[in-house]
Amino acid sequence: MADRSSLRRLRFELNGQWREATVEPQVLLADFIRNHLGLKGTRKSCEVQICGACTVLVNGRPVSSCMTPAFEIDNKSVMTIEGLAQGDNLHPIQQAFWQEGGLECGYCTSGMILTAYALLSENPDPSEEEIKHCLSGNICRCTGYVPIIAAIKRAAYLMRSDTTAILSLPQSDERRTDGPAKIRGEAIYTADLVRPGMLYGKILRSPLPHAIIKNIDATAAEKLPGVVTVLTRDDLRDINPYFGPLVKDQTILAFDRVRYEGDPVAAVAAVSEEIAAEALGLIHVAYEELKPLLSIDEALADDAPKIHEVTSEHGEKFPGYPSVDEETKKYRNVSFHFGWNKGDIAQGLTESHRVFDNCFYFPKVAHYSLEPHMVLAEWRDETVTLWSSTQHPFLVQQEIAEMFGIAKEKVRIIVPYVGGAYGNKNHTKFEPLATALSRKTRRPVSLSLSTEDTFRTVSKPAMRVRIKTGVSQDGVLIARESVVHVDGGAYSDAGPRVTQKAGYRVHGPYRIQNIKSDAYTVYTNTVPAGAFRGMGTPQVVWAYESQMDMIADELGLDPVEFRLKNLLERGDEFSPGDTPLDCDLKEGLLRVAREIGWSETQEPDCGIGVSCALKDGGGNYKISDAFRGYGGDRPGIEYGAAKNCRPRTRSCCRENRACSPGHLAHAARLRHLRKQRHDCYGTRGPKSSTGHQNSAHRWRQKLDRPSRCELRAG
């Protein structure tokens, strides 16, 4: 706490009203706005002035509040997203963002809208290039910017027209139900929640990629004023600390050794984030460093040390997935194997005119969802409630119950709005750690990771994809053999699921009579790997489509014609037992070729290309489910496992209600939507990269007004 003599007294205009306050000199504007003024629409993400989520306007100019000292607003005006609308009346920019769908998860939306406001205040009719330049300091990880640019163009038109400057809140069913909360800065994310007596958690991470933990001394940290507890491995001896969706090999905190740089070793709960962070520096850990295995080749070497000697067998496994097989057990550092075949691969390759054997490498990638991992745990009377930005509330509920030895109905999981995920919030992450802190302190504990911490939590896996393809003299694919090695990092996490998807899809959307596919999840002393927008699909698509271009070039074939000759047709099986293909891939490829001018002469130094991919809906491991039940005059109850990280699901569920008794007036609209959906995706619809558990919840959203959807597990 700063000396009172160092406090700075401020007078500033906030959203049109003059205010006075005192702040400590080190307080940043984002924290001042969120914590002192209580305006949560200003989001925190990168904290290094890159993403733009924290943008506010100071004297009409966009400012990154995460890097601006609060005392700099003295005698200045400040506008936050809460100051744009007037009551229920939206500003034209907010109206345009809603109309054009210029929002997804909503975490960047406040900053985007305020940046657009500053632009249109100076330039009422900007060009598209000027809009793009203006948005260069604002990152959106969901939309691809196209609807955002369209929204700003519409807003410019609305503000230039004779339309009333402030437009009334529309009630059209055609707009997304989560729109109003997000465009007004009223959407509640996990970081916005506060509970009485809440503590703040911080994690001490390993500085070494592989080492034995000799000793942990937390004495000095425990004596620091404001620290309530320090959690170490010794506090976890009375529970089963292992978790993982398929292979349970990760513990809440490292026990005997650390397995990657960033492995959690201890955690602190204190009355403030600042004190908790200071306490981490007072924890002393003695390590005995071991040789790290940092690549797939190092981990697969015959003399490589085992990264995991044992894994836990307790609890349920992710539904629908096979267990570890005998092929897995042949290798020292392989946690999972998936394989399938059809035809005779050896004969197919022998009969081929040419055989192409290529290896492709894909590096690790960070997801960077703007909202880092967040969880708030409250343990009370042997029950626990968790507010989490998870993509798998029911899996988290199941694992928390198993680990802490309590009934599943005593574990409640609530998912507020999720500020982006893309797979990095799949399955269980830090919910057990927050639960353990709350159980020890008997107080609510909020655990908010920084962006850097999130990068050290999960990644998109590196992959090595070897593909051997046999082709006839006239360019027909005869056989394809593939071996995929997935760098799963130090713990399995979603690696086995990614491996299964990659191995299942690596032959591509082509009619091939002879296929053999093997895929392996490999342990390395690196950041654990999980799903990222496609569950292993982008990596293998890049590999097999690169090889298709290489083959076409070698054989002197046109790449489009080569693909058309081999593409699956409507009614073909993607693999034995899977749903037959119900879309016309060839027509789609021909349309793309026409649109990009494939047959036209290109300008010098200008290139174009094509690729084809097919992403099944889980293959033979389809585990998603949703249904609606009716009972007499009772309203329909929807069951499923959708979360707020898929915000369009909320609007789709609202459309689903249009078929229920009492809502038949909307049936024509629903039929229209179904036709549009079939035209785009075929009868199966778009496929999610996230497998939802076959569990149930009741949607609590009311039809008469937009509201936050609360998920209750169980």
**Strands 55-58, 8-14: pairing kind:** unpaired
Collect the ranges in the chain with pLDDT lower than 70. Answer: 1-5, 162-174, 318-323, 617-714
How far CA 465 is from CA of 97, 497, 501, 544, 661, in Å, comes to 41, 16, 13, 9, 52
Sequence length of the chain is 714
Predicted local distance difference test score (pLDDT) of residue 601: 84
Q: Tell me the C-alpha distance between 74 and 69, whole Å.
A: 10
From the CA atom positions of the chain, what is the Rg in Å?
Answer: 27
Residue 611 · residue 541 · CB < 8 Å? yes
The maximal CA–CA distance of the chain, rounded, in angstroms, is: 86
User: DSSP label at 634?
Assistant: E
Q: Which is nearest to 558 in space by CA: 593, 508, 603?
A: 593
Q: Which residues pair with 341 in a beta bridge?
A: 516
What is the three-state SS of 114-137? HHHHHHHHHCCCCCHHHHHHHHHH
Predicted local distance difference test score (pLDDT) of residue 697: 29
Predicted local distance difference test score (pLDDT) of residue 314: 77
pTM of the predicted structure, to 2 decimals:
0.85
- What six digits make up the tokens of 301? 């070497």
Contacts (Cβ under 8 Å, ≥6 apart) of 239? 403, 404, 405, 436
Predicted local distance difference test score (pLDDT) of residue 162: 56
Predicted local distance difference test score (pLDDT) of residue 650: 57
Q: Which is nearest to 698 in space by CA: 633, 634, 618?
A: 634
Q: Tell me the C-alpha distance between 627 and 638, whole Å.
A: 6
